[in-house]
Amino acid sequence: MSLDVEKIRAEFPILASEMRGRPLTYLDSAASAQKPRVVIDAMSDFYAAHYANIHRGVYQLSSEATVEYEAVRARVARFIGARDPREIVFVRNATEAINLVARTWGEENIAPGDEIVLTMMEHHANIVPWQMLASRRGASIRVAEIDDSGVLDLDDLERLLGPRTKLVAFAHVSNALGTINPVAEIVSLARERGIVTLVDGAQAVPHQPVDVATLDCDFYAFSGHKVFGPSGAGVLHGRLERLEAMPPFLGGGDMIESVSFEDTTFAQVPQKFEAGTPDIASIIGFGAAIDYLEELGMNEISAYEHGLLLYATERLEEVPGLRILGDAKEKAAVLSFVLDDAHPHDIGTVLDAEGIAIRAGHHCAQPLMKRMGVPATARASLAFYNTRDDVDRLVDALIKTTKLFA
């Protein structure tokens, strides 16, 4: 079944708004996605009628809030194919999920002289925590190369996997180029050698079906705000036996079994990693976002966005002096580009005057920008609520931009 995109657009209130006196053309979903009415309503209804803290109260409101919160955990587990809801740890975002692993698993498993393998296309969120860990532990970072079209060099990655490699951490989908990495293949290369894997799924979960059981990775991280849910809700998926073997992350309420001044025993997984009051309403909204996506169908979303990517690629090639960066065969609907005479920030500013929201900059991927030989790019990222009209408006505005900077 294909998507009824006009109906979908009507379900996202912000898409009916105007910017700079023009209809909003939102092409920055890779930075953060817009929210459907059901998500906004789920949150305001929770605050208006069901709000209380979780896991503590004996009274009805609190126990109902706890049931709702835990029900979202079970829905997330089903949505990404986790074997058990206890494998789902709620965090604020993908960044926090990766830092959690670095600070817990990393501190116990990375020793002086060990190596952590990353790829050239990582977001800073999947570089900096490992660099910080490596410098604390006396370990080093190795980086797998990509080719000029933005495809990961698997041979290079395999060459880097040696006896000191303890972890391979890599993006499922590149936020700056759209490249979709062969996750199962990379995981299998690592697993054959007993190496742990962490997948940064921030740009994958919103756009394609993800099944962590098939991918077979040890850890999988993503952010709710890119999955059409609220900011403040994110997920770390970890294999149960790994999570159980890890020390806690933050200490405090809710993550303990018993506390005395002499000693503390910790709660079971996943509570062990969820100290303090979480962003309860965001988790509730996140649950509504997952229900919404499941109703549309991730296969349908992925097929629709792929069609739009092909259309946008073809149309952008009509713009004089425009060069797209990243043309992997397996590619998500992300279009990074540069124009001959205009700096990406200037492109962003001119488009903004037309009500078009794109991202301009290094996309938190400075090593990748350096590899591609540019300081920055302009990036249009598409979602299932975008249309060919949005793409046409982008192309018209870019043609106008080229004339301004000619």
| Residue numbers at the binding site for ligand PLP (CB under 6 A) | 93-95, 123, 125-126, 171, 175, 200, 202-203, 223
Residue 119, token pair as written in the block: 């790829």
Closest to ligand PLP by CB, 202 or 383? 202
Closest to ligand PLP by CB, 175 or 386? 175
User: What's the rounded Cα separation, in Å, for the pair 230 and 288?
Assistant: 10
Place of tokens 């962490």: 198
Count CA atoms closer than 13 A to 99's CA, side-chain side.
13
Closest to ligand PLP by CB, 8 or 171? 171
The alpha-helical segments, DSSP class H, found in 114-239 are 128-137, 154-160, 183-192, 212-215
Closest to ligand PLP by CB, 199 or 342? 199
Closest to ligand PLP by CB, 80 or 397? 80
Going by C-beta distance under 8 Å and a sequence separation of 6 or more, which residues neighbour residue 62?
52, 53, 54, 56
- 278: how many CB neighbours lie within 10 A of its CB? 19
Minimum CB distance to ligand PLP, residue 236 (Å): 11
- Contact at 8 Å (CB) between 248 and 275? yes
Place of tokens 């997330």: 76
Minimum CB distance to ligand PLP, residue 64 (Å): 29
Minimum CB distance to ligand PLP, residue 364 (Å): 6
Minimum CB distance to ligand PLP, residue 126 (Å): 6
Minimum CB distance to ligand PLP, residue 223 (Å): 3
Task: Cite the active site residues.
Answer: 364
- CA separation, residue 252 to residues 24, 101, 264, 313, 393 (Å): 44, 18, 10, 50, 51
Length in residues, the chain = 406
Minimum CB distance to ligand PLP, residue 354 (Å): 24
Going by C-beta distance under 8 Å and a sequence separation of 6 or more, which residues neighbour residue 147?
153
Can you spell out the DSSP letters for 315-363?
HHTTSTTEEEE---SSB-SEEEEEESSS-HHHHHHHHHTTTEE-EEE-T
Closest to ligand PLP by CB, 223 or 401? 223
